[in-house]
Structure 1
């Protein structure tokens, strides 16, 4: 039975992992995000305590 011969399947496994781990991440990371996040104002918002009218 030829499907039990590990020689061609092992090579396919190694080359497919080589593609997944080396080639694809570099192609994916080279894409540019069209909407870069903008930096908001760095000043803190003034928060006031809320005094509840307990009676």
Structure 2
């Protein structure tokens, strides 16, 4: 059963994991978000919808 042999796939998984961890992730984390979230005061109770047929 070749799928149980981890010999070639373990190295591929490690190479992929290290590539993501050391090359791609720092580049992605260096970006600053353009829209910073704001704390908005939302009303506690919304206004009810008036249906035209009632």
TM class, shorter-length: 0.3 to 0.5
TM-score (norm 1): 0.46
- The structure having more radius of gyration, on CA atoms, is 1
